[in-house]
Structure 1
Amino acid sequence: MSTTDLTAPSSAAERAHDPVTLEVVRMRLDAIVDEMAIAMMRSSGSPVITESGDFNTALFDAQGRIYAYSNYVQFHIGSAKVALQGLLDVVPVEQMAPGDAFISNDSHTAGSTHPPDVSVITPIFHGETVVGFAQSQAHLLDVGGMNPGGFAPGAVDCFAEALRMPPGVKIHDRGEVVESVRRMIVNNIRLPIPFWNDVRSLVAANNTGARRLQATIEEFGAEAFGRYAELAIEAAREVVAERVRALPDGVYEATEWQEGDGKSDELRPIRCRMTVDGDSMELDFSASSEQTDGFVNCSYGALVGSVATAINPVLAWDLPFNEGVLGPLSVVAAERSIVNPAVPAPASNGHLTVGARVTRLVTLLLNRVVERSADAALRDRAQGIWADSWTGGISAGTRSDTGEYFVLFNMDGGLMGAGAQPGRDGLDGSGMVTQISNMVPDVEMNELMYPVLYLWKRVDPATGGPGAQRGGLGVDFAWTLWNCPEVLHTVFLPCAQVPAGGYGGGFPGGGGEQAILRGVDVHAAVAAGEAADPERLRPDAVELCEIVAQGLRIQAGDVFRQRIAGGGGYGDPLLRDPAAVAADVRDGYVSAEAARAAYGVVLAGGDGAGGGGAGAGASAGDGAGSVAVDAEATAALRREAR
């Protein structure tokens, strides 16, 4: 077998093209990865895939460059590239055949964001020639290791975290399952049937992509398709390079902090030195902390994906993602560091902790450089920092009604607040920056699939960072066990000590917290209509959880509560329209106390009221629910605050 050799068109004749055909080819590639995603969701039985969209699909050329990437989870960009390059390093294309599929999940050799993110790669043939690869990756519910669900705070090395599959493990040989490999894998998995079904859904997605790409090449011809696909990559690279040129040259540095590693609550620095030079940008993380024996080490694949996650909405917001977007960028990281660890460093939560902090860090640096640009469109890309750190809760136990063993990876932990934008408030319960198509299972879906009963799920008014534009709110939710006597529970809270920062005078968002309310009479609370009020549950004890904890036991009658962090504000809170503050108070997004303390807004009558009368201010809303602003007292309070 052989590979195609696509090189960038250099001469004017080579660059001459039909723009309509170029757009058709580009959109066809995007449509193919979207169809791959549909195939995966319709064939998977996991709510993490079908309800939450925690996956990616992608097409690569024969050299491992990205043709197209689906709009689901962006930090898989780096891990997908590393996994494919690792495959090409160990399996020559001459040894590949139509119908082959390869699986990997190892953070060190395959660049996986963490072991539960399993990748499947399928070579695509045109005749006897490998013309590309289809790649799918998704979070699977269990991958073995010491903890159900694959997150292992207690692990001191990667060998305890999961079954480690390096690049080159063949699971399909010419379209047939490699049965010996399948048996070896599922023998190490707590949920073998759901796991293998999800692997089959990844293969199905790749097969869909392979068929559609083959049909596209047949339609346009191999030479024309290769030329236009190359032009699409080059066009994206040129746009990003032009935007980098519009930024002032210079060196920009900042530091973020990782909160604990499962062994201690020590703050570990993540440092980036961003150098803008003409049409190139280098992001150097070499001064970051050394790798740790805790589970927060971020694989190099996750590092690249986390950088791309921050770059895309600022420099490539209107572009289809392909290899060209990354062309002007380079990412540097020291070996054996917290952002480029080596064996045996554990990494089962590196992407949601250190990786998410990398995205926050790069966003801050981009804020500092775009605000100095002469390009107004780039200046408008500055923003408050997103909470952008996943609050985890993984429960494992046996249902009392069916006797079935289950693992619940609760996707509600992703409902953090977004950073505010220059012209609008941050999104509430937005998800991470990386989650372009963020979805969360409905309460009813979680209750249908798992033995839990939700008591409440609502935005948390204590979490939005004050600003002229308010940071997005995190979500406050609680559940209790139903038809289950007990679960073992793992939790991690990456945004408790160091909240998301504001920008341009905006204030930080609120941090998160998690607690177990022990010994609640849930049945009585439901009967009395008090189950949704944490102040009226009357638990025997309230047990605040540590930032990271495993082996927690939650029993029937206990209530588990998590409050998710909010996003940072943008601009001085004293510049926020008082009517908007009053509307937030009316809607329950901001408390009356916070309206006065953070925004300098005095409400007429009731909590926070000043000395003005009813006719002294404006109102937000109509009828009994309206909240009036005491305009005179507000102006005086704001003058005093300034």
Structure 2
Amino acid sequence: MTTTTEHDPVAVEIHRKALENIVNEMAITLTRTSGSPVVYEVQDFATALLDRAGEHLAMSSTLVFHAGSSLMGTRLVIETLGDGEVRKGDGWILNDPFEGGALHQADVAIITPTFYGDEHIGWAFSNVHVADIGGSGVSGFAPSATSVYEEGLRFPATRIIENGVLDPNWERYIANNVRVAPLVLNDLRSMMAASNVAQEKLSAVVDRYGSERFREYCEINKSLTEDTLRSRIELIPDGTYHCREMVEYDGQGTDEVLDVTLALTIEGSQMRLDFEGDDQITALINGTTGVAHGWAMVALLTTLAYGDVPFNAGMWRPITIGLGRSGTIVNAEPPAPVSGAHGTAGLAILRAIKGALNQAFSLSTDATIRSRVGAVGDTSGPLTPLAGVGRGGIPVVVFFMDAVAGIGGGAQSSFDGQDLYGSSTTLGVSLASIETNEGNNPALYLWRRLVKNSGGPGLYRGGQSLETAFSLYDTDLVQGALTMAVAQEPANGVGGGLPGGNGLVKAIHGTNVQERLAARQQTLEATIEGTTPDYPSNVGHFVARLGDVVIMRGGGGAGLGDPLLRDPELVARDVADLYITRQNASAGYGVALTDAGSVDVAATASLREKIRRERIDGEPSLPQRAPVDAGIAMVENAEGWSCASCDSQLAVLGENWRAGAVRRTTPAFERLAELDMWTRPRKEAESIRLTEYFCPSCAAALGTDLHQADAEPTPAVSSGV
């Protein structure tokens, strides 16, 4: 750990904010110059400043997982240059996930050097999800691809800009290989404009401080971030914490579920993340080093450093990431396809880190660290990238990201999960305007609404997700893909909270929508007639025609804490607000309502006692009380592991407390169906299991595991290192 005391804290903070303002102005430049709604509406991009060595100075907070690709992409440019001259006006394009400079091929970056006078002082990074990158998949998603060579253009660090001008030969090459060349080329120029802004504004900052003081303050701010993060890691007990997550894929005829495992080790102020994954497969889910580093930083920024620790190179210094052997779904090798890795293997990496950190946080003696235990909402939103011809014969890409922005947030230790939270990485991503999407695409929205029961039950409920439906309009045909990364494994609950509901994607063909529109009749789901094929969650060759309807639903956030401890009045309010159904209130929370919708106090008390008896197949011997810390259902003491609701000991130190709990294991889709919730069942193999653990003495809900049918329980915490 470094110690930084000999400085003017006000001057250093003003300097830091100046750099933060530059990356934000770069972001504003992208939104004001891009012609793609993915950029100016959704804000699917990132901007960053790095020093000469490729260490972060600042990054905008739109898509946080590009912390990994900006770091590795810039260092790739430095490595490619070697001892070559760094020249003003030059710029590099890169999007190769295997080299770490992109999470998938549609994330195209432009990296340019920054100068103060003739002195090379750093690098400006801009990254945009372009509307298309060629290949078999529209907009960079290729569910049918069996190798990376089918997924689109893949640039290593390639000098594409000289003297501030985009190379016309490369320009023509790119234009000939993408579906909507004007949008893609314009986004390249938007990133060049962002680089110009970085150069201009950075020169003004160095003018103010001088180059020597500028570099000094950059190093001080890195050290301050490092010291703060290390001080928080030191509040976590030393030990190794384990978590297992799954990656699913069903787009090539086989319904596959693969495992990702994590051993998270805390030793003093250092954190080590050691991942292992099943063998890579010939589908788009395979992760790379940029994916792992990007999602690892998302996990840290949204738990240990949420909004109160500035992001720069100091954030990386206490962290070590190991990806195990090569050729796996977390450490893939070419020619494995990777175009969906950021939303599949990447999400599994994130959820595994958060799951392990929840275990670690719960054992801290620091109240603030314990309060950062939280449920996850990082399930997936479906995407339907489609290409065709729109109004006036103009090529279009229909790429709505509503369901991604509409993922429900996980419940936290003091409040319900946020509705339409999005993913943890999408801190700056917005829900696109319906009017903008309709104005740019041959599609009409039929509805955009919250999904009942999508948030997992708990003392604090998971956030609700969004469902969107649109109908093809003013076009005869579009084709592309349907892709849903997580349909069978819901977001897992914490401290006795239950999982959230999963999302889905489906299509209705040959509908009566056009006729109803012509007759000026409202079109709701119950009024739509047509054929709904039983598509898998991933379809590589999807065709939609005039009047067809596509429905996209994001997943909901998981619950935190035992649902039987939730205030019945809050449950009744959720029913009245159409957030949950009466069945969900009864089966999930043990709340009985009168015909008028008010709480039936006596019936609720009776129902909750009945549920407690069913949990342990008998009468509880002790009363259940609320744990001291919401979301922490098991506590460690000198004797071992005890229930936080009645103090009964379940295991001695070194043993797995799950062995002393009462278990209930059911297929996840069956258990969620009991709660009037949804997750997709597997068709070709045993479904994913949900194991719930209960205290044998007071029947408190202690935790849940989601796993494959033959998987072992989550390992016990290994105290010490």
Tell me which interval the TM-score lies in, with the shorter structure as reference length: over 0.9
Query: SS in structure 1 opposite 2:140?
Result: coil
Aligned to 1:281: 271
Q: Residue 563 of structure 1: CA displacement?
A: 2.1
How many Å separate the matches in 2 of 1:532 and 1:236?
53
Aligned to 2:19: 29
Q: Residue 158 of structure 1: CA displacement?
A: 1.0
Query: SS in structure 2 opposite 1:341?
Result: coil
Listed one character per residue, the Cα deviations across residues 190-222 of structure 1 (whole Å, up to 9, x for unaligned) are: 211111100000111111112111111111011
CA contact (8 A) 1:93 1:130 kept: no
How many Å separate the matches in 2 of 1:166 and 1:132?
20
Aligned to 1:615: none
TM-score normalised by length of structure 2: 0.82
Query: SS in structure 2 opposite 1:102?
Result: strand
Work out whether 1:173 is the aligned partner of 2:143: no
Aligned to 2:291: 302
CA contact (8 A) 1:509 1:567 kept: yes
Aligned to 2:599: 629
Query: SS in structure 1 opposite 2:392?
Result: coil
Query: SS in structure 1 opposite 2:47?
Result: strand
How many Å separate the matches in 1 of 2:480 and 2:456?
30
Aligned to 1:439: 430
Work out whether 1:425 is the aligned partner of 2:416: yes
How many Å separate the matches in 2 of 1:525 and 1:462?
30
Listed one character per residue, the Cα deviations across residues 506-545 of structure 1 (whole Å, up to 9, x for unaligned) are: 00011122221222211444477864431232x2322232
Letter in structure 1 aligned against 2:374: Q
Query: SS in structure 2 opposite 1:541?
Result: coil
Aligned to 2:609: 639
Aligned to 2:280: 291
CA contact (8 A) 2:456 2:500 kept: yes
CA contact (8 A) 2:385 2:481 kept: yes
CA contact (8 A) 2:23 2:49 kept: yes
Aligned to 1:163: 153
How many Å separate the matches in 2 of 1:302 and 1:544?
31
How many Å separate the matches in 2 of 1:37 and 1:485?
36
CA contact (8 A) 2:378 2:424 kept: no
Please give the residue correspondences for 1:109-120 in structure 2 after superposition, counting only pairs within 5 Å: 109-120=99-110
Query: SS in structure 2 opposite 1:595?
Result: helix
CA contact (8 A) 1:112 1:299 kept: no
CA contact (8 A) 2:403 2:467 kept: no
Letter in structure 1 aligned against 2:605: A
Work out whether 1:486 is the aligned partner of 2:477: yes
Q: Residue 49 of structure 1: CA displacement?
A: 0.6
Work out whether 1:352 is the aligned partner of 2:343: yes
Letter in structure 1 aligned against 2:41: E
How many Å separate the matches in 2 of 1:357 and 1:569?
18
Deviates more, 1:490-499 or 1:241-250: 490-499
How many Å separate the matches in 1 of 2:269 and 2:365?
15
Aligned to 2:441: 450
Work out whether 1:214 is the aligned partner of 2:203: yes
Letter in structure 2 aligned against 1:338: I
Q: Could you say if the C-alpha distance between residues 587 and 292 of structure 1 is closer, same or farther in structure 2, counting changes exceeding 3 Å?
A: same
How many Å separate the matches in 2 of 1:633 and 1:474?
30
- Stretches of structure 2 lacking an aligned partner (at least 5 in a row): 613-721
Aligned to 1:464: 455
Query: Across the two proteins, how many residue pairs are aligned to each other?
Result: 608
How many Å separate the matches in 2 of 1:213 and 1:377?
37
Identity %: 36
Letter in structure 2 aligned against 1:632: A
Listed one character per residue, the Cα deviations across residues 342-387 of structure 1 (whole Å, up to 9, x for unaligned) are: 2111111100111012111111111110111111111111111213
How many Å separate the matches in 1 of 2:163 and 2:178?
25
Please give the residue correspondences for 1:45-444 in structure 2 after superposition, counting only pairs within 5 Å: 45-92=35-82, 94-167=84-157, 169-260=158-249, 262-263=251-252, 264-285=254-275, 287-317=276-306, 318-334=308-324, 335-399=326-390, 401-414=391-404, 415-444=406-435
TM-score normalised by length of structure 1: 0.92
How many Å separate the matches in 2 of 1:332 and 1:595?
43
Aligned to 1:582: 572
Letter in structure 1 aligned against 2:176: N
Listed one character per residue, the Cα deviations across residues 2-56 of structure 1 (whole Å, up to 9, x for unaligned) are: xxxxxx987x8xx511111111111111111001100111110110010001110
Q: Could you say if the C-alpha distance between residues 530 and 638 of structure 1 is closer, same or farther in structure 2, counting changes exceeding 3 Å?
A: farther
Q: Residue 94 of structure 1: CA displacement?
A: 4.2
Aligned to 2:707: none
Aligned to 2:549: 559
How many Å separate the matches in 2 of 1:461 and 1:221?
57
Work out whether 1:598 is the aligned partner of 2:588: yes
Q: Residue 324 of structure 1: CA displacement?
A: 0.7
Letter in structure 1 aligned against 2:278: S
- Stretches of structure 1 lacking an aligned partner (at least 5 in a row): 1-7, 607-626
Listed one character per residue, the Cα deviations across residues 380-432 of structure 1 (whole Å, up to 9, x for unaligned) are: 11111213323111111112x41111111111130111111111111112111
CA contact (8 A) 1:360 1:386 kept: no
Query: SS in structure 2 opposite 1:259?
Result: strand
Q: Residue 553 of structure 1: CA displacement?
A: 1.4
Listed one character per residue, the Cα deviations across residues 99-141 of structure 1 (whole Å, up to 9, x for unaligned) are: 1111111111243100000011010112332111000001001
CA contact (8 A) 1:122 1:207 kept: no
Q: What's the Cα RMSD here?
A: 1.6
Q: Could you say if the C-alpha distance between residues 390 and 564 of structure 1 is closer, same or farther in structure 2, counting changes exceeding 3 Å?
A: closer
Deviates more, 1:169-178 or 1:222-231: 169-178
CA contact (8 A) 2:381 2:553 kept: no
